[in-house]
Amino acid sequence: MSCRRSCFRLIAACCLAWSGLTGSVSAADSIESPDKFPSRPITITVTFPPGGGTDILARLIGNYLGETTGHASVVENKPGASGNLGAKFVAERAPDGYSLLMVNSSFAINPAVFAQMPFDPKKDFAPIINVAFVPSVLVVPASSPYQTLAELITAAKPDKNDVSYGSCGNGTPQHLAGESLNIYAGTHITHIPFGGCGPALNSVLGGQIPMAIITASSASNQIKAGKLRALAVTSPKRSPFLPDVPTVAELGYPGYELNQWHGLLAPAGTPPAVQQKLFEGINKVMQKPEVREKLAALGYTQAADGPEAFKKIIDDDIDKFSKLAKQIGLKVD
């Protein structure tokens, strides 16, 4: 009887081992050969609500991706937790190239300002392409007494002063751009967070705040209409969108730079050949004349950083923002 029980146990163990083996084979087989990719629509998840700059870029890419890959794209919005909700969703998807995440520089800021992250931003994603940069711009009302950045800096030097700046929210690139200015210039400009660049823009237009730091694409129409005065842009070079506006760096603060990038990621483990196909297909979209025109009209500077270069940009920013957040004691949660 004991021999019979031992046989049964041996057979059961073999069945379990075989079932585990066949399960792993099936999982591997579910990822198609890179030479067949893509054979169905690609889903692009956006970590922000519809209508914002990142969402507009994702839909612009999605509209044309079918022409370069042979299959249309589906764009879905999963906002929440400063983008962490949508990022976690994509990180847990199959690494087959059919689930992409559209993000901006906030992706690299979140690890510095959230005590707990539901994923590892350096390990759980495969960067595909950085498609565009957009600088932020320091703006004051047209009636402001500050004609230049130097005048504003002088007013903001004392510990107690009346200079404050509105940003697009706590922990946003615009918030960190303002705090970086305080560090570089030795100023004491008070931060006033808003629930997006739009509300900050309205407040500086209405004179409720003396200055705002918002994306150039948000402020450009009001600058060109003469309702706002642009003192400087945060990018390392002048923006083609605002060529007459100097950079913070060239106004006496070398090394100052905060250029907001926008790009696409895939889950970690996506085959390198599939990553390359995605990069090539999306890059072809970005080179289309009509796409380039739309990007320029929205205030974006086009980029084409591939998987390796984009990963370096992200990882370097994660480290930079982590150091800055500690320096200023910034936490969102």
pLDDT at 58 over 60: yes
Same structural domain, 157 and 240: yes
In a domain, 32, yes or no: no
Q: Model-level pTM?
A: 0.83
Say what the pLDDT of residue 322 is.
95
**Per the structure, how many domains does the chain have?**
2
Which domain-ending residue is among 251, 279, 308? 251
Same structural domain, 194 and 160: yes
pLDDT at 302 over 80: yes
d(CA 169, CA 150): 25
Tokens in use for 92? 């847990």
Alpha helices in 30-70 (DSSP H): 53-69
Tokens in use for 3? 């021999």
State pLDDT tens for residues 8-53: 444 444 444 444 444 433 334 456 677 788 899 999 999 988 888 8
Range of the domain at 189: 135-251
CATH code of 127's domain = 3.40.190.150
Say what the pLDDT of residue 272 is.
95
Say what the pLDDT of residue 178 is.
97
Same structural domain, 115 and 75: yes
Which domain-ending residue is among 188, 223, 251? 251
Which domain-ending residue is among 251, 285, 303? 251
State pLDDT tens for residues 119-163: 999 999 999 999 999 999 999 999 999 999 999 999 999 999 999
d(CA 206, CA 225): 15
State pLDDT tens for residues 216-268: 888 988 999 999 999 999 999 999 889 999 999 999 999 999 999 999 999 99
Percent of the chain with pLDDT over 70: 90
Helices 272-286 and 307-328 cross at an angle (nearest 10°) of 90
C-beta of residue 106 within 8 angstroms of C-beta of residue 134: no
Tokens in use for 97? 């190239």
